[in-house]
Amino acid sequence: MTEANSGAMTGLRVIDLTRVLGGPFCTQILADHGANVIKVEPPAGDEVRDWGPPFHEDDAAYFVGINRNKRSIGLDLASERGRAVLMKLLEGADVLIENFKPGTLDKWGIGNETLRAKFPKLVHCRISGFGADGPRGGNPGYDAIIQAMTGMIMATGSQQSGPMRIGVPVVDITTGLYAAIGILMALSERQRSGQGQFLETTLFETGLAVMHPHNANYFMHGKPPSLTGNEHPNLVPYAIFPTRTDNIFIGVGNDGTFRKLCKEIGKPELASDPRFVRNRDRIANREALRAELAAVFSQYEAEPLCDRLLAAGLPAGPVQSIDKALTSAHAVHRGDVIEKDWYKGVASPIRMGRSKPSLRHLPPKFGQHTAEVLAEFGYSPAEIEALKASGVICTERRR
């Protein structure tokens, strides 16, 4: 990532009212690629600033990891004057994104109907737990709760461990991804119609949507998934195997790849064994094949074996911790870690030929850019001071 702003989203202005993870993850994607993202925080600040340790000064790594390339202002939207400032910010905005409880903006008199009438070209994105309607409409949602409610936890873990939460907040993150996609869709449609529109992504629907292949399997045969641990419900072998040194993961996607694997590890006879010829045979005899392969892999060291299998075009990889992943030769070669001053982060995984992502702003301190942003929108120094004195804007958190 470069420091110059040549990104695909350059010229896009985003007013970001979101907190925690899904929304900030979405807006960092847009910001990395050039969007002018103004992060509007309540007087208490985005609560994930406190989700540590570890901390850089007063901000947790949790906040730092999803808020680069944004400018922060502190604004009290619960006050009428604060909402007037927001409406001023929206005059030049392309996108508004928020994750308030459904109905909050309506209560404040700035709901979607009001915004659409005043800013017909505005794309308004809302992220919520369950949406505004339905039996769960308006209910709060957290990643792990949605994992539990959408079958995700029941598809994770082994018979020995029981159901388990996925170790990263996959629902929040994928909701942010869907929100970014939805915003880009709405902006594309705006080029044709000249009109903005409201769009919504929910944690619950995202949780359901990403449950592939378990949803598809259930629709086909009517059975919920069983706990298979690190195994795949539809492919064998597709699992972790121990070696003489470390664990490796082997993934076989078709019968030809299985034959090639058997030849490469010196066991070609396994590919012609009637129990293992086709994938459906291997699924029926999963444990027998696992025992055969485990006996072979236990003779090898993990890294040389993975290198050899990968060189032969076979999907395999070492099971390694995040420190090894981030410092691996491939990650270093690809520039996957970016650094500036005190900051380290993972680079945007979207690599474009001409429109490069950039690191222009370090994750902001609370309210760091309040005066700067308001000045850009025509507020005089005296007006800014008056807003600060009245508590409408703030540069220090009120905890």
Q: Which residues are catalytic?
A: 172
Question: Would you put residue 194 in left (φ > 0), alpha (ψ -120 to 50) or beta?
Answer: left
Cα gap 348→1, rounded to integer Å: 8
Contact 396, 366 (CB under 8 A): yes
DSSP secondary structure code for residue 151 in this structure: T
> Is the separation of the CB atoms in 392 and 84 below 8 Å?
no
Q: Nearest CA to 73 among 372, 323, 399, 331?
A: 372
Q: Taking the mean position of all CA atoms in its chain, how far away is CA 26?
A: 7
Question: CA 362, CA 183: separation in Å to the nearest integer?
Answer: 24
DSSP 49: G
What does DSSP assign to residue 96? E
Measured in whole angstroms, the distance separating CA 328 from the mean position of its chain's CA atoms is: 22
Q: How far is it, in rounded angstroms, from Cα 265 to Cα 268?
A: 8
Is there a cis peptide before residue 102, judged by omega within 30 degrees of 0?
A: no
Residue 331: what residue type?
A: A
The gap between the terminal CA atoms of the chain, to the nearest Å, is 35
Tally the C-alpha atoms within 13 A of residue 388's C-alpha that lie toward its C-beta: 16
* Residues sharing a CB contact under 8 Å with residue 249, sequence separation 6 or more, in sequence order: 230, 239, 240, 241, 316, 317, 318, 319
